[in-house]
Structure formats: structure tokens, C-alpha cells
């Protein structure tokens, strides 16, 4: 009996109406973008919670429009989603480039923020498509990289005796 109950709980799927599914997908995009943006906000970066939330939400909306969501059918042109993904990632690349700065001493800043903007767009696309397992794994790995990346970098710098203040490439 216990095995039956456990199996039925595991195999239970939620059935959502069209509007509920839209709300879940867009809400997930907004929440995950906000969470990643909060990390950047707490580190004092220029692109914070609102920027990341809007990037993720916008990517999800663009993908859902490509799916012709009202009639629940896939897009008439099967290449439409691919073209929209390319457009989103290209546009976000320009947004990310705007937060990357290099000072006269050669120090480059803003790379992590640019990368989080880019991953927010990708995660927004995944939310819009409703690929929840991919979203869970990618979001978990992103949070892992943001939370533990700096301590790992500092440990590696101590091990290899490189000072943080010197640029990695003096030719820039």
C-alpha cells in the first residue's frame, strides 16, 4: 500500500488551464530573474534585481508569443523559436556588454554581471518553454557558481600565489 501511495504521488501531474500555465511560466521567470538580480544588487553591481527580473521575464514572454500560446499550438513556422532565441541572446549580449568596464590599469569589471544577465535570459527562455527539469538544474548550478565562485577563486589565488590586484593580462 505504501509503495502504491508513493508511486502515485511521484507520478501526479498538475493540470493547469491556459491562463494558469501562462502565469506559472511568467511568474517563474520573474522570480528566478529577481533572485539572481538580488545577488548582483547585494554585491553593489549596476545591473540588479529589476534588470535581471525584466530580462528573464522578457525572454519568457518572447518565447511564449512564438508558441502562439492562445490556441495552444506550436508556432506555424518551426524555425520561429530558434530565430527568437537567437534574437534574444544577441540583444542580451549588447546589454551585457554595457556593464563590462575596463579601467586604465587594465582591470576588467562587470563580467559576472554580464554573465548573469545572459543566463537570466536563457532561464527565461526555458521558463517560457516550460522545461522545468532543465530550469531546476540550470538554476541550481547558476546559484552554486554565484555563491561559491568567489571563495573558489580566492582559494586558487592563494594556491598559485597570484595577487588579486594585478591584471591577468598586462597587454590590455
CA trace torsion 59, 63, 66, 71 (10° rounding): -120
Give the least confident one: 67-71, 121-125, 154-158. Answer: 67-71
In-domain check, residue 152: no
In-domain check, residue 102: yes
What are 70-124's pLDDT values in tens digits? 555 544 566 888 888 999 999 998 988 888 888 888 888 889 999 999 999 999 9
Rounded mean pLDDT of the chain?
A: 83
The CA angle 64-98-57, to the nearest 5 degrees, is 20
Q: Which residue has the higher pLDDT, 172 or 57?
A: 57
Domain total in the chain:
1
Domain span at 43: 18-132
In-domain check, residue 40: yes
Sign of the Cα pseudo-torsion (50, 116, 130, 28, in order): negative
pLDDT at 60 over 60: yes
Closest CA relative to residue 72, chosen from 5, 7, 16: 16
Q: Which residue has the higher pLDDT, 2 or 137?
A: 137
Per-residue pLDDT averaged across 41-64, rounded?
91
In-domain check, residue 93: yes
In-domain check, residue 25: yes
Give me the pLDDT at residue 96, please.
Answer: 87
pLDDT at 148 over 80: yes
In-domain check, residue 13: no
In-domain check, residue 137: no
pLDDT band at 7 (very low <50, low <70, confident <90, very high): low
Give me the pLDDT at residue 18, please.
Answer: 76
pLDDT at 29 over 70: yes
In-domain check, residue 42: yes
Per-residue pLDDT averaged across 110-139, rounded?
93
Amino acid at each position: 500500500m505504501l509503495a502504491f501511495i508513493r508511486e502515485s504521488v511521484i507520478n501526479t501531474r498538475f493540470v493547469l488551464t491556459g491562463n494558469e500555465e501562462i502565469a506559472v511560466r511568467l511568474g517563474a521567470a520573474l522570480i528566478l530573474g529577481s533572485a539572481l538580480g538580488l545577488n548582483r544588487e547585494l554585491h553593489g553591481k549596476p545591473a540588479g534585481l529589476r534588470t535581471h527580473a525584466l530580462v528573464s521575464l522578457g525572454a519568457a514572454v518572447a518565447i511564449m508569443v512564438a508558441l502562439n500560446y492562445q490556441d495552444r499550438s506550436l508556432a506555424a513556422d518551426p524555425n520561429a523559436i530558434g530565430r527568437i532565441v537567437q534574437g534574444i541572446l544577441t540583444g542580451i549580449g549588447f546589454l551585457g556588454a554595457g556593464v563590462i568596464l575596463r579601467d586604465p590599469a587594465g582591470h576588467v569589471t562587470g563580467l559576472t554581471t554580464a554573465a548573469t544577465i545572459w543566463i537570466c535570459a536563457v532561464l527565461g527562455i526555458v521558463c517560457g518553454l516550460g522545461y522545468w527539469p532543465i530550469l531546476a538544474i540550470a538554476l541550481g548550478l547558476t546559484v552554486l557558481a554565484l555563491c561559491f565562485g568567489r571563495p573558489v577563486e580566492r582559494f586558487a589565488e592563494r594556491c598559485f600565489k597570484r595577487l588579486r590586484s594585478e591584471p591577468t593580462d598586462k597587454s590590455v
